[in-house]
Chain A
Amino acid sequence: MTQLLHTPLHDLHVELGAKLVPFAGYAMPVQYPMGVMQEHLHTREKAGLFDVSHMGQVIVRGDDFAAAALALETLIPVDILGLEPDRQRYGFFTNEAGGIMDDLMLANRGDHVFVVVNAACKGADIAYMQTRLSGVTVTEITDRALLALQGPRAEMVMAGLDPKAAEMRFMEVATLSLGGVECWVSRSGYTGEDGYEISVPAAQANQLARQFLAHGDVAPIGLGARDSLRLEGGLCLYGHDIDARTTPTAAALNWAIQTVRRSGGAREGGFPGAAVVLGEIANGAGTRRVGLLPQGRAPMREGVALFASTDDAAPIGKITSGGFGPTLGAPMAMGYLPAAQAAIGTTVYGDLRGKRMPLTVAPLPFTPAHFKR
């Protein structure tokens, strides 16, 4: 059995009474004594501190930003070259079939691209970039922790350490001095709330986390609430809602592919699976990721088969994420349905312990986003 890796905040998690579980090779806090439900609500009402140091932080450097951006555009169907300095955007690697190999965040840090990738994929992602990209260096940053401070009070807490934090807009990046520590900060997150993600030197991560937690409005939040927050926010979890077999169009992620990379754009295509991806943007995909609201009180979770009626033998789709939404106050799910049966308001049936239970196709997100545009 492989030893689980520890993040720089491991001792703090233990001290705070976290329940630690294996996740992508790391011992990660799934919840603290407050519990998933209260942690979720606290984040929506005040501010939550998340340790996401297991995620991969990568610097891609070429002769200049443009060189690194253009290299990455050969693997990622997103306008990276057009990112303004100190701006960030969402993207993903596609494979030759147009499927999504991982989703990620990309930032223009002036002379390089800063990339944050999923923990479970980071080894493969970094090797892939190193193998496939020429003329750039791909360096994993292993001496920095990654924290997220999310929720309506995050701005006030951050501004108490560096007033410049309050001036940042959604998806802006900056280098801030938080309690004297140089941090790479983005105004983004994975909860649907306003908030920040903070790359901090590992040696100072504890000190910074404790400064945040010393604030009465900040509570530590585990992966359990992170999952219910992102699902209410309609955000995909890689390996569940999107994977190597789901295309951007099927995943309802066309918005992430800017026109400059689409058919007729100045830098059209030029990424793996471009023919499939651009064809689907034009003509649609056979299936579509949708929000689903169970009509009863019982949550329906990942893997539940979806049917068009209570007696059809063959499923038409399945749930890829599901659970209870603490802010929604009801069960919620995401899943895939045939595009023709994915209209908002459609009733489908999930097989729950042998019974067909109705769900309604619903718009995402389930709870309104509160970004600082």
Chain B
Amino acid sequence: MKFTEEHEWLRTEGDIVIVGITEHATTQLGDIVFVELPELGTIVTKGDEIVVIESVKAASDITAPIDGEIVEVNAALIDNAALANEDATGEGWFFKIKPSDPSQMDALLDEAAYTDLIS
């Protein structure tokens, strides 16, 4: 699994990358009540704001961690945003992206580097 400094996690499955936010992030955000996900088929560029997370406290943005096309979003999360709190790296995933340049993954943080970042 790879990570960004914005507390996203990325897990590669075949030629697709699954993206969510880390447990550290969900703990910081508090109870998540609404997640606005990108539309299917959207072509995104690293750094684009593509997700809005509303917690009981505030709204925050998540940016695209890599370039690519959004090929799936987590419909269960739209119905029940609390999944992100309950199972941040499992059922609470946000979207799946087909990378246009898989080598961008290499520049992301590995688990040790991310653990350092949040400690």
User: Among the listed A31, A35, A299, A326, which residue makes an inter-chain contact with B34, where contact means beta carbons less than 8 Å apart?
Assistant: A299
| A326 with B56: CB separation less than 8 A | yes
Given A298-B36, A301-B59, check contact A37 B54 (CB 8 Å): no
Residues of A within 8 A of B57 (CB): 30, 36, 224
Interface flag for A248 (CB, 8 Å): no
* B33-79 CB contacts (< 8 Å) to partner A: 33-34, 36, 52, 54, 56-59, 78
Return the chain A residue nearest B58 by Cβ: A301
Given A324-B34, A331-B33, check contact A36 B56 (CB 8 Å): yes
| A228 with B56: CB separation less than 8 A | yes
| B6-30 to A contact mask, C-beta < 8 Å, 1/0 | 0000000000000000000000001
The smallest C-beta distance from A158 to any residue of chain B, in angstroms, reads 28
| B56 with A297: CB separation less than 8 A | no
Residues of B within 8 A of A353 (CB): 52
Interface flag for A323 (CB, 8 Å): yes
How large, as a class, is the contact surface on chain A? 10 to 19
| B54 with A299: CB separation less than 8 A | yes
* A300-343 CB contacts (< 8 Å) to partner B: 301, 323-324, 326, 331
The smallest C-beta distance from A152 to any residue of chain B, in angstroms, reads 22
Assembled-state Cα–Cα distance A188/B105 (Å) = 57
Residues of A within 8 A of B33 (CB): 37, 297, 299, 324, 331
How large, as a class, is the contact surface on chain B? 10 to 19
Most buried by B among A224, A228, A323, A324: A324
| A297 with B34: CB separation less than 8 A | yes
Assembled-state Cα–Cα distance A37/B86 (Å) = 13
| A224 with B34: CB separation less than 8 A | no
Assembled-state Cα–Cα distance A35/B58 (Å) = 14
| B56 with A37: CB separation less than 8 A | yes
| B52 with A31: CB separation less than 8 A | no
Residues of B within 8 A of A31 (CB): 30
Residues of B within 8 A of A30 (CB): 57
Given A298-B36, A301-B59, check contact A324 B54 (CB 8 Å): yes
Residues of A within 8 A of B30 (CB): 31, 35-37, 224
- Interface pairs A-B: 5 shortest CB-CB: A37-B31, A324-B33, A36-B56, A297-B34, A299-B54
Beyond A36-B57, A299-B59, A324-B54, list 7 extra A-B contacts (CB 8 Å): A30-B57, A31-B30, A36-B30, A228-B56, A297-B34, A298-B52, A299-B54
Point out residues on B near A: beta carbons under 8 Å. 30-31, 33-34, 36, 52, 54, 56-59, 78, 81
